[in-house]
Structure 1
Amino acid sequence: MVALSTVLFDENMDIALACLDHPFIRELKTGSLKLETFQGYLSQDSFYLKAYAKAFAFGISKSQDEETMEVFVSLLNGVFEELKLHGAYSKKWGFPLNCPPSKATSNYVDFLLRVAATEGIGDIAAATLPCDALYLFLGTELKRGDHSKSRYMEWIDTYSSESFRILTNTLAELVDRHGTDPERARRHYRRAMKLEYDFFDDAYNSYMAEGNQEGEIQD
C-alpha cells in the first residue's frame, strides 16, 4: 500500500513542477536571480518560518505520547537551523530580516496557524509537510545540474542535503501515522502547495514591472 504522504505529493506534482519551472527557481539555479529579490524572499521566509515553528510547537502540545513529542521537537530544531542560514545571509549581504509580511506570506501564515491551533496532529502534519517536501524536491532537482557558479548554491545544497531529506521523511511519517482523515489531509496539503507557489511568485513579482505576472495555480 502506498503511503499517504507519497500519494499527496504525487497528486500535487502539477504545483511542484510549476514551482520548478518558475523564473524564481530557474534564476536561483543559474545565479541570475536579482539579489534584492532573493533578499526580499529571505525576509518573507523568515517571517513564515517563525509561524512554521509555532505550528510544530502546537504539535508538541497536542502530542499524546513521548515519541511524537520528540519528532515535533526535532522538526522545531530543524526550523531554527533554517533561520540560522537566513541570518547568515543577512549578515553576509547586510539586509534586514524583519520586514512586514506580504499578502502571500500572511495568507500562508494564517492558514498554518489556524490549522495548528484548531485541528489535530495529522492535520498539522499534512499542512506543514508540503513546505519540506517541495523544498526537498526543488533542491534535489536543482542539484542535478551544474549550480557551482550560482551565488545561491548554499540554498541548493541545504535543501538537497541528506539531513534535510531525513527531516522531511520524519514529517512524512507523521502524516502516514496520524492522517486519519485522508480527504481533509488532501485539502490541507493542496492548499499549502498552492500557497508555496504563491510565495515564490510574490517574491519574484515584487521586483518586476507591473503587468508581467505569472499565472496562478488552480485549486
Structure 2
Amino acid sequence: MKISDALRQKADYIWHRILNHPFVIELYQGTLPIEKFKFYVLQDYNYLVGLTRTLTIIASKSDFDLMRKILKLAQEEASTELVNYERLLEELGLTIEDAIKEEPSPTNYAYMNFMNLTAFLGTPYEGLATIMPCFWSYMEIARHHEKLLETNENSLYVNWAEVYLSKEYIELVENLKELLDKTNNTEFHRLESVFERASKYEYMFWDMAYKMERWPI
C-alpha cells in the first residue's frame, strides 16, 4: 500500500465525519445559509494565505527537485487560488479588504500555526502531510456529494464545488500524493501523527464555519 493511502486509511474515522458534517451537506444541497458561507470564505481566504506560507517553508527545506515543485504550487496558490477567491468575494458582496481585516477564528489560527510550525520543525514530508488533508479531502467531498449538485439550485455553491471536480484539481491532488509517497517508510509513524491531526483540523474548520466561531473575549 502506498504511504498516502495508508495515511488516508488511518484517518478514515475523521474523514467520515468530514463527509457528513452539516456544513458540507447543506452546502452541496444548496440549503446552507449564505451568512455561514460568507463567514467560511473570509476565514478560508486567511487560511490560504497561511497555507502559502507553509508551502514556502517546506520548499526552503527541500532538495532542488521537491523545492521546484513546491514553489510552483505556492505560486499557483498565490496567483490563481487567491485571485479566484477575490472574484468569489465580489460575488458575495465582499472585498479583499474585508478578508484582510477578518480576524482568524481560534480554530483557524491554531490550524495555520500547526501547519507552519510542523513545516518549520519537521521534515519536508511532514510539512506535506500537514497540507494533504486539505487538498485531498476537498476532492473527496466533491466526489462523494457530486449527485447532490444535480438538484442544488444555488449556482454560487455549485460553481464553487465544481472546482474540486475539475481535471486540473484532481491532477494537483494526485501530484501531491505522489510527492508524499516518495518519503522514506521509516518516517511513516511521524507522518501518520501529522496527517491525523491535520485531518482533525479539517473537520474542526468546517465545524468552526458552521458555528461561525469567534473569539470569546
Normalising by structure 2, we get a TM-score of 0.89
Equivalents in 2 of 1:12, 1:192: separation in Å? 10
Asked whether the equivalents of residues 58 and 120 of structure 2 are also in contact (C-alpha less than 8 Å), the reply is no
| Alpha-carbon distance, 1:61 to partner | 1.2
Give the distance between the partners of 2:138 and 2:115, measured in 1 at CA: 17
CA deviation string 1:85-121 (max 9, x = no partner): 2211111122221200001101101100101111111
- CA deviation string 1:43-88 (max 9, x = no partner): 11111111111111112211212x2122102321342322222211
RMSD across aligned positions (CA)? 1.5
Specify every segment of 5 or more residues in structure 2 that has no aligned partner in the other structure, as ranges: none
After TM superposition, list the pairs within 5 Å mapping 1:10-29 onto structure 2. Answer: 10-29=9-28
Match in the other structure for 1:127: 130
1:76 alignment counterpart: 74
- 1:133-174, Cα deviation, whole Å (9 max, x unpaired): 111101112223315523301221111111111111111112
Give the partner amino acid of 2:173. Answer: T
TM-score, normalised with respect to structure 1: 0.88
Q: Are 2:135 and 2:173, in contact at CA under 8 Å, matched by a contact in 1?
A: yes
Alignment-derived partner of residue 179 in structure 2: 174
Which protein has the bigger helix share? 2
| Distance in 2 (alpha carbons) for counterparts of 1:164 and 1:9 | 18
Partner of 1:211: none
Displacement of 1:28:
0.4
Instruction: Among all aligned residue pairs of Structure 1 and Structure 2, give the percentage whose two residues are the same amino acid.
Output: 27
Alignment match of 2:153 (pick from 149, 153, 166): 149
Match of 2:196 in 1: 190
* Unaligned residue ranges in structure 1 (runs of 5+): 208-219
Q: Secondary structure at the match of 1:177?
A: coil
Relative distance call for 1:144 and 1:75 in structure 2 (3 A) is farther
Higher relative contact order (CA 8 A, sep 6+): 2
Give the direction of change, closer, same or farther, for the CA distance of 1:123–1:147 in structure 2 (3 Å limit). farther
1:54-65 correspondence to structure 2 within 5 Å: 54-65=53-64
Contact 1:123-1:185 within 8 A present in 2 as well:
yes
